[in-house]
Structure 1
Amino acid sequence: MTEELYLEELRLEEEARGLTIERFHREHANGSQDDTFSETFLGSYLIRRYLNPYIAGIAEWMNASLSGKVGRRSTASKLLEDVPASVAAFLMLKAIFNKVGVYNNQKVCTLTGLALSGADLIHDEMRLRAFDDEYKKWSQRIHEDFNKRELPREKREEYMRKVFLKAEMPWSTWTTTDKVHVGMALLSIFKEVTGDLIVSTVGTGKAKRDIVIPSEGLQKAVADNAAHCEALFTNYFPMVVPPRDWTAETLELGGYLSHHVTPYPLVKGSRRAYKALLKGLVKEGKLDTVLNAVNALQRTRWQINVPVLDAIEYVYLNNIPCGKLPRANNKKPDPAPKRLEFLPADHPEVKAYRAYCFSIHEHNRRVVGKRVMAGRAFQLARKFSQYDAIYFPHDFDSRGRVYPKPTGLHPQGPDYVKGLLQFADGKPLGTHGRRWLAIHGANCWGEDKLPLEERAAWAERHTDLARSVAADPRADLRWTEADNPCQFLAWCFEWAAMSYMANPEEYVSKLHIDLDATCSGLQHFSAMLRDEVGGFHVNMVPNDKRQDVYGAVAAETIKLVEADLDGDNASLAQAWLKFGISRGVTKRPVMVKPYSGTRQSCGQYVSDAVDEKLEEGHALPWPSEDMWTFKMYGADKVWAAIPKVVVAADGAMKWLCTVSRLVGKSQPKERRIEWTTPLGFPVHQAKFNVKSRQIETFFDGRIIKPRINDELDELDSRQMSSSVPPSFVHSLDACHLQMTIDRAAREGITDFACVHDSFGVHACDVERFSRIIRECFVEMYENHDVLSDFLVSAERLISEEYQKDIPPVPQLGKLDLRGILENPFFFS
């Protein structure tokens, strides 16, 4: 590390701090200006601060008012008789902090305007509750649609007014006078309870009016909290010098070098007792392998691939379709055919065109966030392209999974981000590197289901394509057709350059060649259970043919759908068979099944897969107004097909759920469930009951459930049982990654690109690295009975009352783990 680079790093960290403060205040200033301050970080804090005393004040006033003790206020109390105090308090607080200048003292809010604003929210809430009581299923469909589409408030209200008209229900039931009564009463209560609003009279004559301003105490609370919370908005940049290693002395400092970046612990969100435990284990040398792995990842030298950046920015700015890269500008629907002008509104062609336009607008809405992420990634890549090497500090989550701290640009990003990054230090391909570079190209294109030798041959056959693309990626855009186009483009540049060399083995490559697990969760369950059936489907037994568990579930799904061709659901079955039941439809439901995937999550993933196909231009398979029926039919069939392929893993998940539930019921003193990974990393998990003070409102048709209260010192056995299986498996895939990186580093491999179940190194190192991946996995499960170890940790937390209910550890099958060493597709 040169002094010049060290000083540059300090400058970048100071710049990041400045951007942090600027972003924090910009977001809150915008919220204040746009009347959405209650939804900001500080706004949420203020609501939590005032809610409970305000609820108590409203409840006390209601009791007194309804008994006839407060005279004039009885008008408001009668209107609020059916409104829960918690709902009235929550919505009035939103109005107060949206309208009153708690962040911007220049903001003017009249007393009457504020009263009407809060009363409007409460009135609309009660009308929506009335609609929900009258039309349960209709209401549920609307809420599901609103929650998914994230429509702005005015659009939700506009839509609901039309729905009320259709249902022949009046929207407005309170007069303006009624609303003033309600709003004034609630504001008066807030003033009495808190003293933090001041009503001041300004102007004279006809210009005279009452305005509402925050008290000095409220302004001070906002300012103090803002100063404290700025750090929570920290911008983490890549570094231009190696991050500080994680050691016993730095466990709470993080990888950055100066006070400009808020320090962070090795394990996100860890509590004091856990930090003390971790420090003791580190000092005793019991977590050396874990720390060696994360430090090796942090020391990897990266570099921006500028030719790829230039090409990706070009296709982005020109709205050229390119994989998952969002468009820079909104799509525009094709003009309506002239003949539609002469057709009635309910004509099928008119309805179909409207559905088409709606799909375009929905696509535009969904990509806004993706567009922001892409823009930030390109901005950071351009900024850091001037440096010969950059580094990514990492930390762990509670399961031991490793994550880079910088956001926007890092090795765990989407394809267009991964394509921007290459290792800073190149290595000659050597004996095996050309083969693995070829396989990588085929994988990026989408030929990753082929045998390895066929993948390599595919790359050799497409050398001319690589040369043409590399010569001018703006003119030859075929690279954009790949499954992972940006990584494929990076491959084209290297493959083309290598192909011109007399001795290709001397070509110096900088690409990271990634080896991906075959459904990692099922691999881990199959190993711990010695499940030969599951192991076969995820490439854990010797086989020269790659197995595809997602394709196997798709095949079973097709059988179930075909069985309906002669039944009541024949039309749905025909529509699905025509639409196509591919591995793309089944992949995510199968992938999350080992992580306690539910029927509900399956429905969401199938729905997403259908939407993706429609965005790619596939014809609408079912009437647009009833697409939910189509999607849920497909989800039901996928859900029914999964157990036909994934058998033993389901039993292990249920066992983990049962044991975890017993811990929750026992309420041990430690108030947690815990286990230790094979590398000694302690995992603590606690899901607490929350006192039922969570407020549920429809808020113009969109259900919101702000969680206000503190957790109780009481474990939630239901949440414990559902959350432990995914966390348990994640802790094991994290352990496998740590073992693999540590051993590879000790064998001389220096650069790593890792994303939980995808491990990457230089092409010349892949042959050796592939062996290490398999060896570490086999050793982990040969040397550790992880389910029995889990039970030992859990048993001491289960009270004597429930000891008799502990189920036996699932019986092991006959899978020979050594077969993994002979299957080239285990990670490929």
Structure 2
Amino acid sequence: MDFRGRAYPLAPHFNHLGNDMTRSLLIFWNGKKLGANGLEWLKIHLANLYGMDKCSFEERVEFANTHLAEIKESAENPLNGTRWWTKADKPWQFLATCIELNEALKLDNPEEFVSHQPVHQDGTCNGLQHYAALGGDIEGARQVNLVPSDRPQDVYAFVAKLVTKRLEISAAAGEEQAVKLKDIISRKVVKRTVMTNVYGVTFVGAADQIMKELDEYFDKPEESNEMSRYLAKHVFASIRELFHAAHLIQDWLGECAKKISKSVRLDFELNQSKSINGSDLMTSVIWTSPLGLPVVQPYRDLKKKQVQTNLQTVFITDPFAINPINPRRQQAGLPPNFIHSLDASHMLLSAVQCGKSGLDFAAVHDSYWTHASEVDNMSRLLRQEFIKLHEVDLIERLKNEFDERYRDYLEIVKISRDSELGKKILEIRSSFAKSEGRAMTIADEIRMEKRRVELSRSENPDDQAEAANMITTVSCTLDYDIKKEEGKTKSKVSHLTVLTPLQLPEIPPKGDFDVQDLLNSKYFFS
């Protein structure tokens, strides 16, 4: 299990995380009779492996029934026949399923066949499914199959259409790049960027992904690079349009991480320095997953020492050293890691319910396998656990946890020294300097505020009265809107660095999607 709660197989190589060939060799130790539903699901599984996963279930079953002769020939003569199975998207798993289905069809009643074949159920861009449920995006939820429909929705194709529409508008406005790109956009071009956007892919990373798909259309690398960067902007804008509320949550998570990682604990023992160094920032982003697992982001600036040997130069780090956190990685990591903690919770909660129901079960993050005869039961449990997970407002719960966990933390802000608040803080610092005979340091400001907070929480009325009369550089900021005060800063010369209680941004508004609709969505996992 990793720090987000994602579970991994004990076997290092031969497991469901492996490639197509590895997965084709895996079977369940215990077998179960197919039954009527199991036979149908085995055919659907076969069609999925061939590449028919965007069709309806009925069309997938029809595909298998139409190609029974090819399935038989592939199973009985895979190397010297027509090798039809090699045309599949996942040929080795497809061949294994051809063999299993062919064996079942040899019986007078194929439903009596005892099957050991794992049948796969996969989420539709599972990260976006979680974001759509968190943000309540109705159209976004529809495109990732959280809403019931007659056919499976294809979010990648839908984004490709949105991008094409944007390019057509830009082409009509005379943009040369849009003219060249508008007729070559396909789901393949945008798929990787859509898939990784939810996990924090950068603009540069997205442009690189798109460039690999555009290389076949442009001969010159510099032209392909230019077009990919232009197209990446339109892909990002289209995803944001489709998952608007989800992206507001993504932005909110990033802003929370930015503030937390640059905050200082009230009880942190500082030296007498006049400023806070990066080495003083030791606040990792921590939250509790729905499973109750504490998640601590491990991103820190490791101090490396270069060692020169006769053969090479190596860099070593002390694994026991206390290192400052890396604010940039903390900020970039929270949105994807929070979603990973949700899909990990969903998988483990589903695994528990499958175990209680007597299902043989295998999983890799958002991919699940069980016997063909148990797919309907597993699908029902997957829906139930996803709904239970998102019945709670997880973002509100996270905000409440952050508010409690980081209650006594201070953040560093810059305000105008000429503002009313700036003049008050300068006056407090000046008074301290006159009485103590030295300049007030950051450590002094933190100790004074710590004393005030301790007195205010005392049960002794005298202590509470003393706290009420204390004015510190931190407490005087409580009467002001810090965001507005930050906006008054015009230049570096006129700004004043101050400490203020950590205030996290308000939760963005949520859309109208009701997660209970998922109960009737047969293509949620398919």
Q: Indicate the SS of the match to 1:678.
A: coil
Residue 667 of structure 1: CA displacement?
A: 3.5
2:368 to 751, 759, 763: 759
How does 1:216-365 map onto structure 2 within 5 Å?
none
Residues 282-329 of structure 1: per-residue CA shift (max 9 Å, x gap): xxxxxxxxxxxxxxxxxxxxxxxxxxxxxxxxxxxxxxxxxxxxxxxx
Residue 805 of structure 1: CA displacement?
A: 3.3
Task: Please tell me whether the aligned partners of residues 688 and 716 of structure 1 are also in contact (alpha carbons under 8 angstroms).
Answer: yes
Q: State the match for 2:300 in structure 1.
A: 688
Q: Indicate the SS of the match to 1:422.
A: coil
Q: Indicate the SS of the match to 2:198.
A: helix
Q: State the match for 2:485 in structure 1.
A: none
Distance change in 2, residues 1:562/1:712 (3 Å)? farther
1:477 partnered with 2:80: no
2:357 to 740, 744, 747: 747
Q: CA–CA distance in 2 between the matches of 1:666 and 1:779? A: 34
Residue 610 of structure 1: CA displacement?
A: 4.3
Q: State the match for 1:788 in structure 2.
A: 396
How does 1:92-491 map onto structure 2 within 5 Å?
396-474=1-79, 475-491=81-97
1:548 to 140, 151, 154: 154
Q: CA–CA distance in 2 between the matches of 1:527 and 1:406? A: 33
Q: CA–CA distance in 2 between the matches of 1:706 and 1:723? A: 28
Residues 201-249 of structure 1: per-residue CA shift (max 9 Å, x gap): xxxxxxxxxxxxxxxxxxxxxxxxxxxxxxxxxxxxxxxxxxxxxxxxx
Distance change in 2, residues 1:530/1:576 (3 Å)? closer
Q: Indicate the SS of the match to 2:120.
A: strand
| Structure 1 unmatched runs, 5+ | 1-395, 615-619, 696-704
Task: Please tell me whether the aligned partners of residues 362 and 369 of structure 2 are also in contact (alpha carbons under 8 angstroms).
Answer: yes
Q: State the match for 1:584 in structure 2.
A: 188
Q: State the match for 2:142 in structure 1.
A: 536
Q: Indicate the SS of the match to 1:635.
A: helix
Residue 551 of structure 1: CA displacement?
A: 0.8
Residues 250-304 of structure 1: per-residue CA shift (max 9 Å, x gap): xxxxxxxxxxxxxxxxxxxxxxxxxxxxxxxxxxxxxxxxxxxxxxxxxxxxxxx
1:720 to 330, 335, 348: 330
Task: Please tell me whether the aligned partners of residues 541 and 816 of structure 1 are also in contact (alpha carbons under 8 angstroms).
Answer: no
Q: State the match for 2:510 in structure 1.
A: 812
Q: CA–CA distance in 1 between the matches of 2:141 and 2:24? A: 32
Q: CA–CA distance in 2 between the matches of 1:425 and 1:476? A: 33
Distance change in 2, residues 1:624/1:788 (3 Å)? closer
1:734 to 344, 354, 360: 344
Q: CA–CA distance in 2 between the matches of 1:397 and 1:652? A: 24
Distance change in 2, residues 1:706/1:457 (3 Å)? farther
1:824 to 517, 522, 525: 522
Residue 563 of structure 1: CA displacement?
A: 3.6
Residue 577 of structure 1: CA displacement?
A: 4.9
Residue 709 of structure 1: CA displacement?
A: 5.7
Task: Please tell me whether the aligned partners of residues 136 and 246 of structure 2 are also in contact (alpha carbons under 8 angstroms).
Answer: no
Q: CA–CA distance in 2 between the matches of 1:800 and 1:812? A: 29
Q: Indicate the SS of the match to 2:262.
A: helix
Q: CA–CA distance in 1 between the matches of 2:155 and 2:315? A: 39
Q: Indicate the SS of the match to 1:825.
A: coil
Residue 605 of structure 1: CA displacement?
A: 1.9
Q: State the match for 1:773 in structure 2.
A: 382
Task: Please tell me whether the aligned partners of residues 34 and 373 of structure 2 are also in contact (alpha carbons under 8 angstroms).
Answer: yes
Task: Please tell me whether the aligned partners of residues 301 and 326 of structure 2 are also in contact (alpha carbons under 8 angstroms).
Answer: yes
Task: Please tell me whether the aligned partners of residues 671 and 686 of structure 1 are also in contact (alpha carbons under 8 angstroms).
Answer: no
Residue 708 of structure 1: CA displacement?
A: 5.5
Q: CA–CA distance in 1 between the matches of 2:388 and 2:16? A: 28
Task: Please tell me whether the aligned partners of residues 673 and 797 of structure 1 are also in contact (alpha carbons under 8 angstroms).
Answer: no
What letter corresponds to residue 789 of structure 1 in structure 2? R
2:206 to 602, 620, 625: 602
Q: State the match for 2:130 in structure 1.
A: 524
How does 1:632-647 map onto structure 2 within 5 Å?
632-647=229-244
Residue 641 of structure 1: CA displacement?
A: 2.4
Residues 696-721 of structure 1: per-residue CA shift (max 9 Å, x gap): xxxxxxxxx98666676322322211
2:258 to 645, 661, 674: 661
Q: CA–CA distance in 2 between the matches of 1:662 and 1:679? A: 26
Task: Please tell me whether the aligned partners of residues 418 and 487 of structure 1 are also in contact (alpha carbons under 8 angstroms).
Answer: yes
Residue 804 of structure 1: CA displacement?
A: 5.7
Moved segments of 4+, more than 6 Å: none
Q: CA–CA distance in 1 between the matches of 2:285 and 2:178? A: 45
Residue 824 of structure 1: CA displacement?
A: 0.5
Relative to its length, the structure with more helix (as a share) is 1
Q: CA–CA distance in 2 between the matches of 1:403 and 1:529? A: 29
Q: CA–CA distance in 1 between the matches of 2:377 and 2:78? A: 33
Task: Please tell me whether the aligned partners of residues 259 and 502 of structure 2 are also in contact (alpha carbons under 8 angstroms).
Answer: no
Task: Please tell me whether the aligned partners of residues 575 and 621 of structure 1 are also in contact (alpha carbons under 8 angstroms).
Answer: no
Q: CA–CA distance in 2 between the matches of 1:431 and 1:787? A: 42
Q: State the match for 2:226 in structure 1.
A: 629
Residue 729 of structure 1: CA displacement?
A: 0.4
Q: Root-mean-square deviation (CA), in Å?
A: 2.5
Residues 442-497 of structure 1: per-residue CA shift (max 9 Å, x gap): 11111111111221121111111101111211122121111111111111111222
What letter corresponds to residue 4 of structure 2 in structure 1? R
Residue 523 of structure 1: CA displacement?
A: 1.0
What letter corresponds to residue 125 of structure 2 in structure 1? C
Task: Please tell me whether the aligned partners of residues 347 and 365 of structure 2 are also in contact (alpha carbons under 8 angstroms).
Answer: yes
Task: Please tell me whether the aligned partners of residues 245 and 508 of structure 2 are also in contact (alpha carbons under 8 angstroms).
Answer: no
What letter corresponds to residue 436 of structure 1 in structure 2? W
Q: CA–CA distance in 2 between the matches of 1:707 and 1:797? A: 35
Residue 722 of structure 1: CA displacement?
A: 0.9
Distance change in 2, residues 1:706/1:543 (3 Å)? farther
Residue 790 of structure 1: CA displacement?
A: 1.7
Q: CA–CA distance in 2 between the matches of 1:512 and 1:576? A: 42
How does 1:17-96 map onto structure 2 within 5 Å?
none
Q: CA–CA distance in 2 between the matches of 1:431 and 1:529? A: 39
What letter corresponds to residue 684 of structure 1 in structure 2? V
Task: Please tell me whether the aligned partners of residues 674 and 793 of structure 1 are also in contact (alpha carbons under 8 angstroms).
Answer: no
Task: Please tell me whether the aligned partners of residues 542 and 820 of structure 1 are also in contact (alpha carbons under 8 angstroms).
Answer: yes
Residues 363-416 of structure 1: per-residue CA shift (max 9 Å, x gap): xxxxxxxxxxxxxxxxxxxxxxxxxxxxxxxxx011111112434432111222
- Alignment identity in percent? 35
Residue 594 of structure 1: CA displacement?
A: 1.7
Higher relative contact order (CA 8 A, sep 6+): 2
Distance change in 2, residues 1:566/1:418 (3 Å)? same
The count of aligned residue pairs is 412
Residue 734 of structure 1: CA displacement?
A: 0.4
Q: CA–CA distance in 2 between the matches of 1:803 and 1:814? A: 34
Distance change in 2, residues 1:598/1:472 (3 Å)? same
